[in-house]
Amino acid sequence: MDEMVIISVDDHAVEPPEAFIRHYPEGKKDRAPRIVEEDGKDIWLWNGKRYPTIGLNAVVGRPRSEYGMEPSQFSQLREGTYDPKARVDDMNANGVLASLNFPTMPSFAGGVFVAAATSAPDEALLAVQAWNDWHVQEWCASAPGRFIPMCLVPMWDMDATLAEMKRMSALGVHAVSFSDNPANIGLPSIHNAYWEPFWKACVDYKMVINCHIGTGARAMHPSPESPIDAWITAMPISIANSAADWTFASFWKRYPELRMALSEGGIGWIPYFLERADFTHEHHHEWTFSDFGGERPSDIFKRHIICCFIDDQFGVKNLEYMNVDMVAYECDYPHSDTVWPNVPEYLWASVNGLDKSVIDKITHLNVMREYSFDAFSLNGGREKCTVGHLRELGKHVDVSPRHNLGGLKTDSMDAIGKARRPVTSGDIERMFAAA
């Protein structure tokens, strides 16, 4: 276990209060997203609207019994959620070498900015560019070799998208966050010719398209009375509909080097999904006219789509039904699904017994290849990248649970706690509405 090298392709950064302001042009800084305090909560204020912060997105370090809508103040967070140097400490303690981080305030693929662009495209573009500059020039640059840089794009404007991709490519970015179903957020579907220049640019700049769950297709709450556990359970698999949409798309033929990742989607469901896709093609292609050029849908999926998992022993046991060269690991720090600071223990429980070459592929080699990320050179050799070496560097980090992190529970969560009853989807939806 201590000899593993672990790279995560799905973590999250909470933007610090001054992140956008520092990267807005002079004379326009007053238009940048900023943190204000209202009713004891830290919220983002931007473009005349208020956006709640954090919630279940940043509960890392708390006892699981204290998960909930909190935290709603920066004072309640582990510093590693918003401070890159503290994040590296937490990564060392966790034995994780490198990490790709999705946004928080803009939503995972910049959906907040996409929605604003319908009435204020210039403001939305400024915000996208400022987030990219903060993420690449501050967050990632603070620890070269420890973060895989990723950019947002102004998806509503193709010329601006291409210009931003070119700008980010020049800074060494090889990953772009993108909606798993842009048609659900008011943009053309992935089958529309609008995206053709985007696919080409991704290939030209060797950028992996990262589609996080919830960025287009969402796990639906079955009913207000449903245990919230049901929604959380279905959340990763909710990306299956989008996965089918991408698998049956025609652009893969035109761009054989194009790659995408189903971020935080898990892998245990993939074998059945591929079997079903092939069955569908065999039984229906004569009237649907889908054409895979003599191949099967599963061939396209295995060649182009990276699958990621947090803790998925069933999926690891069925790697033979996937492409082991396109499977990667994800930590999901600081979200509620993360197994920080025990990633190596959880991961080893899944991969122990596999051939070492397979373990190396899914823990780091696949990511290094697909994301053009030379982790060993950037960190001074493989021996300085292992779980054992990193944990030695991080042995001073306090990983003990921090009760409530100095915050106060919301009224809604207090009521749930006092009632001592299961939390429902309705409870969570009401808390989000109140925020």
**Would you say residue 296 has pLDDT above 60?**
yes
- At 16, give phi and psi (nearest 5°): -70, 160
How far is C-alpha 132 from the chain's CA centre? 15
Which pLDDT value is given to residue 410? 45
d(CA 335, CA 205): 30
| pLDDT exceeds 90 at position 303 | yes
CA distance 102 to 330: 12
- Residue 411 pLDDT exceeds 50: no
Tokens linked to 297? 């849908």
Q: Does the pLDDT of residue 69 top 70, yes or no? A: no
Residue ranges of domains in the chain: 7-434
Contacts of 177 (CB under 8 A, 6+ apart): 102, 103, 108, 109, 110, 150, 151, 152, 210, 212, 215
- Determine the Cα–Cα distance for residues 54 and 51; give it in Å rounded to an integer: 10
pLDDT tens track for 129-183: 999 999 999 999 999 999 999 999 999 999 999 999 999 999 999 999 999 999 9
Whole-number pLDDT of residue 57: 67
Q: How many CB atoms lie within 10 A of CB 316?
A: 23
- Long-range contact pairs involving 249-253 (C-beta distance under 8 Å, separation at least 24): 249/190, 249/191, 250/191, 251/190, 251/195, 251/196, 251/199, 252/300, 252/303, 252/304, 253/293
Instruction: Tell me how far CA of residue 141 lies from CA of 21, 36, 168, 173, in angstroms.
Output: 18, 27, 13, 12
Nearest Cα neighbor of 373 from 385, 383, 363, 365 is 365
Q: How far is it, in rounded angstroms, from Cα 399 to Cα 69?
A: 22
Q: At residue 419, does pLDDT exceed 70? A: no
Residue 196 pLDDT: 98
Instruction: Quick: pLDDT tens for 318-357.
Output: 999 999 999 999 999 999 899 999 999 999 999 999 999 9
Q: What is the pTM of this model?
A: 0.94
Beta partners for residue 35, in sequence order: 44
Per-residue pLDDT tens for 103-128?
A: 999 999 999 999 999 999 999 999 99
**pLDDT of res. 160:** 98
Q: Please tell me the predicted confidence (pLDDT) of residue 106.
A: 95
The whole-chain average pLDDT of the chain stands at 93
CB-facing half-sphere around the CA of 257: CA atoms within 13 A: 11
* Burial annotation 215-235 (CB, 10 A radius, 16+ → b, else e): bbbebebeeeeeebeebeeeb
Res. 56: pLDDT tops 70: no
> Measuring CA to CA, which residue among 319, 199, 216 is closest to residue 263?
216
pLDDT tier at 97, thresholds 50, 70, 90? very high
Class of domain 7-434: alpha beta
Q: Read off the pLDDT band of 98 (50, 70, 90).
A: very high
Question: If you search the block for the tokens 């589609």, which residue do you land on?
Answer: 211
